[in-house]
């Protein structure tokens, strides 16, 4: 099962539940699955026109150490855990 299908199943089942606790659990599970969905980092330019990458979820700059002369984009955001 893919994460997209799991999200669809949780969203479809969410409307059928009546208990507040179950709704909160569904919301938490949906948020966790969405964080596992890979997203591309966003380019952001600051006041000095320097361009750097930011997390699409929390908008914090990504730690971007240089490795062998090439920039390295991490697999996850170090601040919120969003998969990149």
**Over the stretch 8-27, which tens digit does the pLDDT of each residue have?**
766 776 655 566 657 777 78
Domain ranges (residues) in the chain: 1-37, 38-84
4 CB-near residues (< 8 Å, 6+ apart): 37
* pTM for the structure as a whole: 0.59
CB 54 within 8 A of CB 46: no
CA 34 to chain centre: 6
What are the pLDDT digits (tens) for 31-48?
Answer: 888 888 888 888 877 777
> CA 1 to CA 83: how far, in whole Å?
18
């Amino acid at each position: 099962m893919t994460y997209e299908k799991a999200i669809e199943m949780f969203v479809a089942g969410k409307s059928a539940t009546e208990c507040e606790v179950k709704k909160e659990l569904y919301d938490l599970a949906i948020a966790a699955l969405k964080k596992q969905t890979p997203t591309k980092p966003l380019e952001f330019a600051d006041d000095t026109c320097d361009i750097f990458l930011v997390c699409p979820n929390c908008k914090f700059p990504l730690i971007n150490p240089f490795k062998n002369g090439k920039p390295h984009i991490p697999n996850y955001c170090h601040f919120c855990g969003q998969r990149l």
